[in-house]
Structure 1
Amino acid sequence: MASTDSAFAGSIPAIYNRCLGPMLFEPYARDLARRVTAIRPGNLLETAAGTGIVTAALADALPETDIVATDLNQAMLDVAAKRISSPRVSFQAADAQSLPFPDASFDAVLCQFGVMFFPDRIGAYREARRVLRRGGTFIFNAWNSLESNPASKAMAEAMREVFPDDPPSFIQRTPFGYHDTGQIEDDLRAAGFADISFETVVLPSRAPSAREAATGMCQGSPLRAEIEARDPTRLDAAVDAATRALERLSGPVLDVEMSAHVFTARAPDPA
């Protein structure tokens, strides 16, 4: 994983929230909130909370649950804190691989599309298990393969048009680079989880225009750092190429399907 893959700073958080949030993350946020509502935890830790897209859905669905939303990037949490005002929600910068909370602190831990970014996934899973109370639930999602996500695949391929000799590989390397469900289950078991299950969930991916979706990916994700490292004057060209690719896929308005795996695991009860 490149060192820039988890860099969400500058103008990236606001563009991410505005453009990629409705297209990629809000549908799955509602799905995760529904799943957590069935558990009814007294308190909950969210890791890799980003700009609070899932946090907002959780706050609406669980008005009596205390939520601690964490992320490695303070700039992302700053956006989240501006959009969510609830006495039951608090924000804290934290690394999911080294959580600053005591053992057995939470009834549930949730992570939306963050596990793919963790350099030490098993270590992050161990931390989630450590801060869970016995019998507590860990719920997270991870993207299915790039082949199962046509909009993201089209944008990844568009980068070859702009940089044929050295195309940016962030999309396929990181967000879509951890989709083997067998590997994910093995990693969870290695971290000490039990009662592991998953469901592959297909939802609509929509954006008011192909250009807005392309702008979100090229300017509102770590892909931007890869583009600018190659040639900062080519950022607009990358957006143009991604826009054309999405228009070939779906027309001027994006309306396609996207696919992700949703995992549930439980911290073992005492023997």
Structure 2
Amino acid sequence: MTVVAVTLDPPRDGLVLPALPETSPLSASEATELYEAMAADAFLAAAESGGDLLVNYRSDDQLPDEHVPEGADAEAAVRALVDDVLDDEQAEDARVEVQVGSSKSARVGNTITHLLESEGANSAAVLEPDAPLFLRKDVDSAAMKLRRSPVVLGPAREGQLYFAGFREPIDFADAFEAPALENVNARAVDAGRDVDFLASVGRVRTGEDLVSLVSELRARRAAGRLVPAYTTAFVEDRGLRVEAEDGDRFLVRE
């Protein structure tokens, strides 16, 4: 089975999705709530798939001082979110562990390498918590691809990655620096690994990203297709919808 590590920060205003309050109708607290909703859908997608869920969080000593208020407890906040989302059996099976490393590349590399080499996982992947349209069926499809290819990458816009799966480690030094898609792919190719790709899925980090997400969620909902439950509930509860004027699309509240 594939171990799916959802990598996230403790949900705090200004730390998570910092660009959204400046580029959308959402306040800082609502941006945090959206982050929690998208993370919840990522947890469920992994937990309900054929893989194992690892929630891999950044600890308070890895965060900028301005995002560590007095009495902060990153582990407690993350565990509370996991327990709120998963049922008792899923929560018992899920692992919540701190990330180790001074950069994104180091933290991902340490997690993947440890899972593959120290724990003997057949395959291991990292999943970003802000790609809510990557559903359970997509996690299963990625795991199937990993049986055929030693590296499987999920591209997002602007050269980002929302998913990266491995059967063997690569050189992760600076691999997840922008553009992560090209860098990780290059390291895999240099190591002689065959690489396969998933369909592109949008990550939600800016108001423009949220416009695309809201439009697609509403279309999927109207067509009776699968949607991420927590993220869709957030959008509907706040009455978010897309309007257009003079060729520009923007979010409004109903």
If the length of structure 1 is used for normalisation, what is the TM-score? 0.36
* TM, length-normalised to structure 2: 0.38
